[in-house]
């Protein structure tokens, strides 16, 4: 009898052991690799050199890592971004959605739908106003810091000037980049007595930047500096200053943000004085963070990009080393 009980206890403990270590098929967790990633990437559209470099970074890095990238260009239309988001949620293949948000608002519903569908959502480049638990992480610049740096550098450019009237060319007004750069600039401009005498959107665009600057110059030439929130608008302003018979970079100082090749060439030509960097080459960090989240690892809610400031005097030397 005793041996019978011992036999039953032995069998029972073996079965329990098997179940515990998943030997009975109790779901051992899958480890994802980049080759398992199917990414739905929603880009803003194309507004110039920065965006082209950002898109190239995601396409080239996906190729290198063996990621299946489904790229969508929203043509700078918010409604296109929202419909693409829902299409990627419905796409059974897609396990990661990456968004470069045109605007900071309007995202909560789709983010909740994505969460319900078990999709990993990573924000790249542009931050949004939504509860942090609705997305995995935001990888992009500290735009407010770029604005503060811009004001500090404009103070240096206008040092000793009797007047410090600055005009501001603003990006897409709903975007985090435009809002935060403007806010950061205003935090620090008082330190040296800068007045923003004109401020208007030129939607990141060179042609619009030229048109806005032309109109301002028709009203007044008592302008000592241009704060252009990206390179393209600064290049447009330089053209308008030239056509008004003035010398950009000398009569009117110009500071821009991004540090694309076009801005470096303009610094070499003496048309732009200073450029605050905004790094577009974000794909490696974004894909790495997405893979960690797919594998159930924690990532910080914001991974800021590292960025510098460049000056006309150094532009010729640095230009050949730049990737975009
Ligand atoms: C910045 C990026 C901005 C660039 C512009 O991260 O979102 O958008 O500064 C681009 O050139 O249009």
Closest-lying ligand 1 atom to the alpha carbon of residue 141:
6
Q: Which of 17-26, 99-108, 153-162, 268-277 has the lowest average pLDDT?
A: 17-26
- Residue 15: pLDDT over 60: no
Ligand 1 contact via 126 beta carbon (within 6 Å): yes
Q: Tell me the fold of 143-278.
A: Rossmann fold (3.40.50)
Distance 262 CA to ligand 1 centre (A): 14
Domain residues of the chain, as ranges? Answer: 34-141+280-306, 143-278
pLDDT at 24 over 50: no
Mean pLDDT, residues 145-151 taken together: 98
Ligand 1 within 6 A of 39 CB? no
Q: Residue 21: which pLDDT band, with cuts at 50, 70 and 90?
A: very low
135 pLDDT above the threshold of 60: yes
Candidates 3.40.1280.10, 3.90.1150.10, 3.10.450.50, 3.40.50.2300; CATH matching 34-141+280-306:
3.40.50.2300
Question: 35 alpha carbon to ligand 1 midpoint, in Å?
Answer: 29
Work out whether strand 309-311 and strand 274-277 pair parallel, antiparallel, or are unpaired.
antiparallel
- pLDDT at 305 (0 to 100): 79
Is pLDDT above 60 for 13?
A: no
Cβ(234) to ligand 1 under 6 A? Answer: no
What's the mean pLDDT when you consider all of the chain? Answer: 93
135 lines ligand 1 (CB under 6 A): no
Query: Ligand 1 center to residue 47 CA distance, Å?
Result: 8
Distance 229 CA to ligand 1 centre (A): 8
Nearest to 122 by CA among 104, 137, 107: 137
Residue 121 pLDDT? 98
Tell me what pLDDT residue 111 has. 98
Where residue 19 falls among pLDDT bands split at 50, 70, 90? Answer: very low
Band of pLDDT at residue 22, cut at 50, 70 and 90: very low
> Ligand 1 mean position to 31 CA, how many Å?
35
**Residue 226 pLDDT exceeds 50:** yes
Is the pLDDT at 55 greater than 90? The verdict is: yes
Terminal Cα-to-Cα distance of the chain (whole angstroms) = 82
Rounded distance from Cα 76 to ligand 1 centre (Å): 12
Residue 145 has pLDDT above 90, yes or no: yes
Predicted confidence at residue 25, as pLDDT, reads 38
DSSP labels, 261-310: HHHHHHHHTTS--EEEE-----HHHHHHHHHHHHTT----SEEEPP--EE
Using CA positions, which residue lies closest to atom 1 of ligand 1?
A: 177
Q: Whose CA is nearest to atom 6 of ligand 1?
A: 125
Fold match, 34-141+280-306 / 143-278:
yes
Span 177-190, pLDDT tens digits: 999 999 999 999 99
Give the residue-averaged pLDDT of 110-137.
97
Backbone angles phi, psi at 294, to 5 degrees: -60, -35
Specify the residue for token string 């990206």.
230
Compute the average pLDDT of residues 5-24.
50
Residues 98-111 have a mean pLDDT of 97
């Amino acid at each position: 009898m005793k041996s019978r009980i011992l036999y039953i206890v032995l069998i029972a403990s073996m079965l329990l052991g098997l179940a515990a270590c998943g030997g009975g098929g109790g779901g051992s967790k899958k480890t994802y690799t980049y080759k398992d990633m199917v990414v739905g990437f929603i880009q803003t559209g194309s507004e110039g050199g920065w965006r082209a470099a950002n898109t190239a970074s995601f396409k080239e890095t996906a190729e290198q890592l063996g990621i299946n990238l489904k790229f969508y260009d929203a043509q700078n239309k918010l409604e296109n971004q929202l419909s693409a988001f829902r299409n990627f949620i419905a796409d059974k293949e897609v396990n990661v959605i990456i968004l470069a948000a045109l605007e900071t608002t309007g995202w909560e519903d789709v983010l909740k739908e994505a969460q319900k569908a078990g999709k990993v959502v990573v924000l790249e480049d542009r931050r949004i106003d939504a509860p942090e638990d609705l997305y995995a992480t935001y990888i992009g610049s500290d735009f407010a810091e770029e604005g503060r740096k811009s004001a500090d550098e404009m103070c240096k450019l206008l040092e000793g000037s009797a007047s410090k009237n600055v005009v501001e060319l603003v990006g897409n007004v709903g975007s985090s980049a435009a809002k935060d750069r403007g806010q950061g600039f205003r935090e620090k401009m008082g330190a040296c007595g800068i007045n923003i005498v004109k401020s208007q959107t030129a939607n990141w665009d060179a042609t619009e930047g030229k048109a806005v600057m032309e109109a301002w110059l028709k009203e007044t030439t008592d302008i000592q500096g241009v704060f252009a929130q990206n390179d393209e608008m600064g290049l447009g302003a330089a053209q308008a200053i030239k056509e008004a018979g003035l010398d950009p970079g000398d009569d009117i100082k110009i500071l821009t943000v991004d540090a694309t090749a076009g801005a470096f060439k303009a610094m070499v030509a003496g048309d732009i004085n200073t450029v605050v960097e905004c790094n577009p080459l974000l794909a490696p960090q974004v894909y790495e963070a997405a893979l960690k989240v797919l594998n159930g690892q924690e990532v910080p809610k914001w991974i800021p990009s590292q960025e510098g400031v460049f000056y006309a005097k150094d532009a010729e030397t640095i230009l050949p080393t730049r990737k975009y």
